Amino acid sequence: MTRPADDLLAITRQALNRVRHETPLVQCLTNQVVANFTANVLLAVGAAPAMVDIPEEAGPFAGAASGVLVNLGTPHAEQRAAMTEAVASATAAGTPWVLDPVAVGSLPVRTALARRLLPQGPAVVRGNASEIIALAGTGGGGRGVDATDEVESAAAAAGELARSTGAVVAVSGPVDLLTDGERTVRVANGDPLLTRVTGGGCALGAVLAAFAPPTTPDAAARADRLAAAAAAVAVYTVAAEIAAEHSAGPGGFAAAFLDALYALDEETLGKRAAISWA
């Protein structure tokens, strides 16, 4: 029997439509290097960004937002306090939140913060292979934001992390891998130029938050969450692919990527998305 959630392409198209019609409000507690690009990516895809990341505001806002991104790229003290507040509030309200453990493993402050936040139930954890392996406790971390491990070598760690946290785990790379600990989706779109623009990975975390359904604990919801996350990755990487065809380098690519996200239609998405179970 094919469940509705099995047709990844249909789900991807519906998910993009939903974002465009509902304009989900995505709160980003993210690093200051990529905040601008992240907000522009959300606007281009049809969501509404709000970078509310100070204590006393982050908590209340997370309760009302459609999704929350917690990206550990430049975790200043005040932002760490805001993250703690936002995650508690999101968890209480059923707001899905995405954890992006940038450079976790090799750097002590963010690693400790990630360990503290992780048990509170992110809807999605997104990282490169090194970060996912480090977060799962099976490796030593990368040298910063670089992916020094290959995606497939992180598959086991991703599965463990998904099972131990209840999160969908998304590993970014040439072929993206997503798992809820039981089933796995691969998305074979994208372009290397995306790695030559700072925030190419970080902004995907925000799009994952825009696409995430509200958090509920049952198994069907988890399957939906995996499919929605895969949809976000497909939309994002198909747009990257289109942008690369019109770009001479990373400068033009960044602009073309926003334009491609903005213009992406269901038909193009259907033709290009290379998204499949396992």
Which residue's CB is nearer to a second copy, number 159 or number 205? 205
Taking CA atoms, 82 is separated from 28, 94, 104, 107, 209, in Å, by 11, 18, 19, 20, 17
Q: Is 50 in the site for a second copy (CB under 8 A)?
A: yes
Alpha helices in the chain (DSSP H): 8-22, 35-45, 58-64, 77-93, 108-117, 129-135, 155-165, 202-211, 219-245, 250-263, 266-272
Which residue's CB is nearer to a second copy, number 24 or number 213? 24
> Given strand 176-179, what is the order of strands in its sheet?
48-50, 25-29, 67-71, 97-100, 124-128, 168-172, 176-179, 184-187, 275-277
Q: Is 33 in the site for a second copy (CB under 8 A)?
A: yes
Q: CB 235 → a second copy: shortest distance, Å?
A: 15
Tokens (6 digits) for 148: 């020094």
How far apart CA 202 and CA 205 sit, in angstroms, is 5
By the 8 A CB rule, do 151 and 233 touch? no
Kindly identify the residues of this chain, within the stretch 52-91, that bind a second copy according to CB under 8 A: 52-54, 56-57, 60-61, 64, 73-78
Q: Is 236 in the site for a second copy (CB under 8 A)?
A: no
Q: Is 120 in the site for a second copy (CB under 8 A)?
A: no
How far apart CA 184 and CA 168 sit, in angstroms, is 10
Q: Which residue in the set 6, 17, 20, 36 belongs to the binding site for a second copy (CB under 8 A)?
A: 36
Which residue's CB is nearer to a second copy, number 147 or number 231? 147
**Contact string (CB under 8 A) for a second copy, positions 134-153, x = contact:** ---------xxxx-------
Q: What's the N-to-C CA distance of the chain in angstroms?
A: 17
Q: Is 103 in the site for a second copy (CB under 8 A)?
A: yes
Q: Is 104 in the site for a second copy (CB under 8 A)?
A: no
Q: Is 249 in the site for a second copy (CB under 8 A)?
A: yes
Amino acid at 249: G
- Sign for the pseudo-dihedral over CA of 40, 44, 49, 53: negative
Q: CB 167 → a second copy: shortest distance, Å?
A: 25
Kindly identify the residues of this chain, within the stretch 192-231, that bind a second copy according to CB under 8 A: 195-199
Which residue's CB is nearer to a second copy, number 10 or number 50? 50
How far apart CA 73 and CA 180 sit, in angstroms, is 24
1 is in an annotated binding site: no
Q: Which residues bind a second copy (CB under 8 A)?
A: 25, 31-37, 39-40, 43-44, 48-54, 56-57, 60-61, 64, 73-78, 103, 107-110, 143-146, 195-199, 247-252, 254-263
Binding-site residues sit at 51, 126, 172, 199
Return binding residues for ATP. Answer: 126, 172
